[in-house]
Amino acid sequence: MAKTVVTYTHWKTGKPIERVKYYTDRTLPATIETRGRVKQTAFDNRVYYKPSLGKPVIRTKRVRRRSANVVDINKQLESLRDSPEHPSRVCGGLPWDERIRCLKAKMKEAIHPVVGS
């Protein structure tokens, strides 16, 4: 995330107002955007209620699949591809609920933090 300060002029008083804006600077120049899995409306945005936040949330209909963080994580997993320490090989053959717990634990061990996340 990059932080910038934007200065606006108040419409009534003419005084400058400073606002802090954040934007993502970890996207690759040629990102891949897909439609996603949710059925969309004719508009670009979709509004839905999110109970954990207790308020409506606005989402765009595109999904960005190639952020720099995702590319870094994929490189780490590719280095483990043929090794027996790959999380999917270690957790294979377990019942589903145990497999999910095992995958979460092994992925935390396998993936090192990416810069900028």
CA distance 84 to 55: 45
**How far does CA 90 lie from the centroid of its chain?**
26
Q: What is the pLDDT along the chain (117 residues), one digit of tens a residue?
A: 577 888 888 888 889 989 888 776 665 555 666 666 666 666 777 888 888 889 998 877 666 666 777 788 888 888 988 888 888 889 988 999 999 999 999 998 888 877 654
Distances from the Cα of 28 to the Cαs of 4, 37, 42, in angstroms?
20, 23, 28
The answer to whether 18 touches 7, Cβ cutoff 8 Å, is yes
**What Rg do the C-alpha atoms of the chain give, in angstroms?**
21
CA distance 90 to 86: 6
Q: What is the pTM of this model?
A: 0.45
The answer to whether 45 touches 58, Cβ cutoff 8 Å, is yes
CB atoms within 10 A of CB 20: 8
**Strand positions, DSSP E, the chain:** 2-9, 16-23, 33-34, 45-50, 55-60, 63-64
Q: What is the pLDDT of residue 69?
A: 79
